[in-house]
A = this chain, B = another copy of it.
Amino acid sequence: MTQPVPMVDVIRGDMVESRHAGHAVICDASGGIVRSWGDPDLAIYPRSSCKMIQALPLIESGAADAAGLGPRQLALSCASHNGAAIHTRPVTEWLNALGLGEDDLRCGPQEPADIPARDALIRAGDSPCQVHNNCSGKHSGFLTLNRHLGAGSEYHEPDHPVQRAVLEAFEAVTDETSPGYGIDGCSAPNFACSVHGLARAMARFAAARSGQGTREDAMVRLREAMVAHPELVAGEGRACTSLMRAMNGVAVKTGAEAVFVAILPDQGLGVAVKIVDGTTRGAETAVAAILSGLGVLDPQHPAARALLETPIASRRGIPAGRIQPTEALLTGWS
């Protein structure tokens, strides 16, 4: 097996203090590898980076249109959100419009990453609920599809029709037979694929054009919903949100354990990154370096600089170091 490639250095003083190695693939719409680092065939769990794939059956089945979902709900269905009010209010309204409520979700409760939302809960003496879970939009999408399919309430179980539909879409767009699944933090199955397969799926999202059939239509709608509502896909201060705002039409998505993907419609390219140690900081800096290398992210944009030369400071604000990509990600771009 090809070893992972050092991609990100954490520097303190004059020394590399920590280092993140990973695998990455840039793929075109034909499925061909444009560039790769490490092992393209390594099987990984995409985790939340594949939420736009998990949302395909929601649209393709007709469930999204039957429920009157617009771009904001579609963006939330692809989101790992912060649990801020801008996320939890529309999710609650969406559930109510389906005649459902928080207790129909199966994602479990999670403390909001959004500090004002977190503090408001603590001040009120309330506990976080399932709507605060970063996956509550994806699960509202699952519930919408489930309503359309008329299946049972335990839509998160791997053999449920909702998850069988997800697997079918997942294997089709990755062009692989999934080697298996793991249970994700939100209790839904997360199907495995290779780094190459994940990049290939993103390239298909990138190359999709409207009017070319149900699948491409769905891909365009999800991609454009993410780009139109970057604040719904993650939240203030988050890399997905700031990177999409800094680029022109490129959709990006993070996943737990240091997965990151990107969809580049103008180039017809897809990107998948997996940092082997699972650290978010590694995946964020690596994907920012690749997007800069591909020419879609201005490395001088503040959102890019925050990831390409992330300052490390003491708790009194004394500069202490930085996080930056290694030469492996900074060189070799044509």
Complex Cα spacing A129 to B195, Å: 45
Q: With A123-B123, A314-B186, A315-B185 given, is the CB distance from A257 to B18 under 8 Å?
A: yes
Contacts of A257 in B (CB 8 A): 10, 17-18
Contacts of A107 in B (CB 8 A): 315-316
Complex partner residue of A17 from B14, B17, B278, CB under 8 angstroms: B278
- In the complex, identify which listed stretch (A175-183, A199-207, A263-271, A293-301) lies at the interface while the others stay far away: A175-183
Task: Using C-beta atoms within 8 Å of the partner chain, give the interface range for chain A.
Answer: 35 or more
Is A320 within 8 A of B183, CB to CB?
Answer: yes
Contacts of A321 in B (CB 8 A): 182-183
Q: Any chain B CB within 8 A of the CB of A109?
A: yes
Q: With A20-B277, A123-B122 given, is the CB distance from A183 to B315 under 8 Å?
A: no
Query: Looking at chain A's contact residues, is the secondary structure mostly helix, strand, loop, or mixed?
Result: loop
Contacts of A319 in B (CB 8 A): 183
Q: With A122-B122, A277-B279, A315-B107 given, is the CB distance from A18 to B258 under 8 Å?
A: yes
The copy count of this chain in the complex is: 2
Is B278 within 8 A of A187, CB to CB?
Answer: no
Complex Cα spacing A108 to B19, Å: 26
Complex partner residue of A278 from B10, B15, B109, B276, CB under 8 angstroms: B10
A108-146 interface bits toward B, Cβ cutoff 8 Å, 1 = contact, 0 = none? 111000000001001100000000010000000000000
Complex partner residue of A13 from B18, B19, B181, CB under 8 angstroms: B181
Q: List 28 A-B contacts (CB under 8 A).
A: A10-B257, A12-B45, A12-B183, A13-B45, A13-B180, A13-B181, A13-B192, A15-B43, A15-B45, A17-B45, A17-B257, A18-B276, A19-B276, A107-B315, A107-B316, A108-B316, A109-B315, A122-B122, A122-B123, A123-B123, A133-B315, A183-B319, A183-B320, A184-B314, A184-B320, A185-B315, A187-B315, A279-B279
**Considering the complex of A and B, which 8 residue pairs feature the smallest CB-CB distances, nearest first?**
A108-B315, A13-B182, A18-B278, A12-B182, A277-B277, A183-B320, A108-B316, A187-B314
18 additional A-B residue pairs with CB within 8 Å, beyond A12-B183, A107-B316: A15-B192, A17-B182, A17-B278, A18-B257, A108-B314, A108-B315, A108-B317, A109-B315, A110-B315, A122-B123, A184-B314, A185-B320, A186-B314, A187-B314, A187-B316, A277-B279, A277-B282, A278-B279
